[in-house]
Structures are given as C-alpha cells and as structure tokens.
Amino acid sequence: MNDWRLVYEGFGPEQEPLREALCTLGNGYLATRGAAEESRADGVHCPGCDWFHPGRAELLSYRQELDMRRGLLSRDLRFRDAAGRVTRVTSRRLVHMLDPHVAALEYVLCPENWWGGSACGR
C-alpha cells in the first residue's frame, strides 16, 4: 500500500477472493465487487462475462490498483494467446459518491501485434 493506493502486481488465483473484496467500490447505496470484468464462476472468481481466463493464455503482465483518494479501481493486463497475438486490456471503474445512482466502467481492448493494433496508438 502506497499512501492512498492499494496495488497488486501479477495474477495469483489464491489471492483473487481477497483482492475482489478489498477492491470493492461503494457509496452507501451501490457497491461493485473488485472482480475482473471478464471473470467467471471457476472457483476463483465470481461470475462475470466469461470471455477470458488468465490460466488459458500466457499472461505477460497484470496490475490492479485501487486509488482510494480518487475512488478509482483500474486494471491493466497483457496476454498472448495460442496464435501468438498480444492483447492489452485496461479497465477503470468508479461509483459516484455524490449521486448514488451513478457508476461508470471503461473497458478497452487493444490488439498490439495483430490487425487493429494501430487503432490504440501503438
């Protein structure tokens, strides 16, 4: 923990339930658990969209950060699939403190070495 930030480097399946709980964002009306957006009911994560599983691809980097001063949960990961394609996934989410009905999620997929990679400025 660094000042107002809680930072996790790397992916550890045994640590995910604790990370998900500690990175929960809430405003007294609405809360969102700190689970990865694409997580699935696999004994490690709570159910989600189920399109990606870190155990099925070569994980090149994985970083999750909770900025408690700004109330922002962010995640950055890079992986290589079986075809050798490298993809970066970044996400940011927040739950608004002044308007309890407002929450936001930004989710960006960026192909790095396959068609469409230039669309992400790389």
Whole-prediction pTM value?
0.80
Angle ∠(4,47,20) on CA atoms, nearest 5 = 20
Tens of pLDDT, residue by residue over 14-62, are 888 899 999 999 999 999 989 888 765 555 555 555 756 666 789 999 9
The predicted pLDDT at position 35 comes to 85
pLDDT of residue 12: 82
Closest CA to 20 of 53, 44, 49: 44
Please list the helix, strand and coil fractions of the chain in percent, rounded to the nearest 5, in that order: 15, 40, 45
pLDDT at residue 13 in the model: 81
Report the domain count for the chain. 1
Identify the sign of the CA torsion 117, 108, 20, 7: positive
User: In the block, which residue shows the tokens 């809680």?
Assistant: 6
Name the residue among 93, 95, 58 with its Cα closest to residue 75. Answer: 93
Instruction: Read off the pLDDT band of 118 (50, 70, 90).
Output: low
User: What was the pLDDT predicted at 40?
Assistant: 57
Domain assignment of residue 91, given as a range? 5-120
Looking at residue 101, which CATH number applies to its domain? 2.70.98.40
pLDDT recorded at residue 39: 65
The whole-number pLDDT of residue 37 equals 81
Q: What is the pLDDT of residues 61-80, one digit of tens each?
A: 999 999 999 999 999 999 99
**Closest listed residue to residue 78, CA positions, set 9, 7, 16:** 9
